[in-house]
């Protein structure tokens, strides 16, 4: 797997020649709708039997073999053009034989809304370990607002060896996450017992694999009550073989202030839950200033703290599958528009914009004009690669996507180029 960044004058035919693959394969793999209208700065994922590496100062074949975890003899055979392996030319291209690359096996979760299209879901399921259906909203008495059409998703998931996960949230009907709603349930033993029984019954009746608890914006005073609720829920479902996952805010310290962070106890979640999904996204958000949704430098800070509090193999790092379009100059309180990653590239092509890449945030962006200036931050193959590499760096259990409702082919090409996806059913 190689990632190529389009330059002025490039064409699919020219790129295909560079990597000795067919143009149609590139078009099909990347699902390019406008292959004759490439955008400067756009990423193209090339799926080949070899990965390429550009020689840097100080490199040797031995050093490169160690870096990629390949056999030195196999590396030498893959590069017959090298006449002196002790004197590599800086800037020359080395072929890395993928068949000798030992890929880590990771767990991959994908959140989806019940209205996901069957076509998108069918294409995505081979890349998933878990499918988390969002969401069952809890009521003050511990009852649940039912998802009437989730049986279709559960059946499709299990037919593709993907474990379906029930998701419960403290979202008020036709509203948003409610601190007061969570407070009422967490401090009412009768309501809490009813909620736990309803969760267990629902898992059993609908053939879910487990439950993901996504309670957000909890009061600090409810921190211990939330931990106790998770313990009680785990105790109730574990004897039946069901698993518990929790979703937590992206903290950089245990005592981080703010309603989003304070009641999420990383240490307790790491002890109680089977997996902890860290929502490492929404630095760039609807009502915030323009920036990457998941800046790599910020994500890394969260992970540096997280692995000190949670067993690293329990951590699933959050991965966003969307971007935002802001009007400039940014005015506090104004809303950005959500945009898909594929839609962002299409928009750049339509507006004649060049896509740039921020090396600190490790994310693509571009500017265009429509009545006034706009800036769009989104995800591409290079930003996806940069954050997926944190899985190895921090020895994580895997990743979790928010959400999979819009299909982004390059993400899955990169993911599968780096890792094998674990199946548990």
For β-strands 323-327 and 419-421, DSSP reports them as: unpaired
Angle formed at CA 321 by CA 320 and CA 323, multiple of 5 degrees: 90
Q: Which of 137, 184, 216, 262 is catalytic?
A: 216
> Could you give the CA distance from residue 369 to residue 353 in angstroms, rounded to a whole number?
9
Distance in Å from the first CA to the final CA of the chain: 28
Within 207-265, where are the H helices?
223-237
> Could you give the CA distance from residue 342 to residue 352 in angstroms, rounded to a whole number?
16
> Could you give the CA distance from residue 388 to residue 412 in angstroms, rounded to a whole number?
11
Contact residues for 129 (Cβ-Cβ < 8 A; gap 6+): 107, 108, 109, 162, 163, 398, 421, 422, 423, 424
Among 356, 354, 281, residue whose Cα is nearest residue 321: 281
Asked if residues 399 and 316 have their Cβ atoms less than 8 Å apart, the reply is: yes
- Note if 282 is an active site residue: no
> Could you give the CA distance from residue 343 to residue 242 in angstroms, rounded to a whole number?
38
Catalytic residue numbers read: 216
């Amino acid at each position: 797997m190689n990632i190529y960044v389009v330059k002025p004058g490039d064409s699919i035919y020219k790129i295909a020649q560079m990597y000795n693959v067919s143009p149609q394969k590139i078009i099909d793999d990347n699902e390019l709708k406008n292959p004759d209208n490439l955008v400067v700065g756009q990423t193209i994922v090339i799926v080949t039997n070899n990965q390429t590496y550009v020689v840097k100062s100080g490199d040797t074949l031995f050093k490169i073999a160690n870096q990629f975890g390949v056999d030195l003899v196999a590396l030498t055979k893959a590069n017959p053009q090298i006449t002196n392996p002790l004197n590599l030319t800086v800037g020359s291209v080395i072929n890395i034989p993928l068949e000798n690359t030992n890929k880590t096996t990771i767990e991959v979760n994908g959140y989806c809304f019940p209205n996901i299209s069957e076509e998108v879901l069918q294409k995505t399921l081979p890349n998933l370990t878990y499918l988390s259906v969002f969401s069952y909203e809890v009521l003050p008495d511990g009852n649940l607002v039912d998802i009437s059409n989730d049986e279709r998703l559960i059946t499709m998931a299990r037919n593709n060896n993907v474990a379906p996960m029930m998701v419960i949230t403290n979202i008020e009907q036709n509203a948003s996450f409610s601190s007061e709603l969570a407070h009422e349930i967490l401090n009412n033993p009768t309501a809490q017992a009813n909620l736990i029984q309803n969760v267990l019954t629902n898992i059993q009746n609908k053939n879910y694999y487990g439950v993901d608890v996504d309670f957000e914006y909890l009061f600090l005073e409810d921190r211990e009550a939330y931990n106790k609720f998770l313990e009680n829920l785990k105790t109730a479902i574990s004897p039946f073989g069901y698993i518990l996952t929790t979703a937590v805010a992206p903290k950089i310290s245990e005592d981080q202030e703010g309603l989003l962070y304070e009641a999420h106890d990383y240490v307790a979640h790491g002890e109680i839950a089977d997996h902890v999904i860290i929502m490492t996204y929404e630095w760039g958000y609807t009502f915030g200033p323009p920036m990457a949704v998941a800046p790599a430098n910020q994500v890394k800070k969260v992970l540096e703290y997280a692995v000190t509090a949670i067993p690293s193999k329990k951590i699933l790092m959050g991965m966003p599958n969307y971007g935002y379009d802001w009007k400039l100059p940014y005015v506090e309180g104004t809303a950005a528009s959500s945009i898909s990653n594929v839609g962002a590239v299409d928009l750049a092509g339509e507006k004649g914009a060049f896509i740039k890449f921020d090396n600190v945030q490790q994310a693509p962006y571009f500017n265009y004009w429509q009545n006034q200036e706009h800036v769009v931050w989104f995800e591409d193959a290079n930003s996806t690669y940069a954050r997926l590499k944190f899985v190895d760096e921090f020895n994580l259990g895997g990743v979790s996507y928010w959400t999979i409702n819009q299909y982004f082919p390059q993400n899955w090409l990169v993911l599968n180029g780096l890792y094998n996806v674990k199946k548990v059913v």
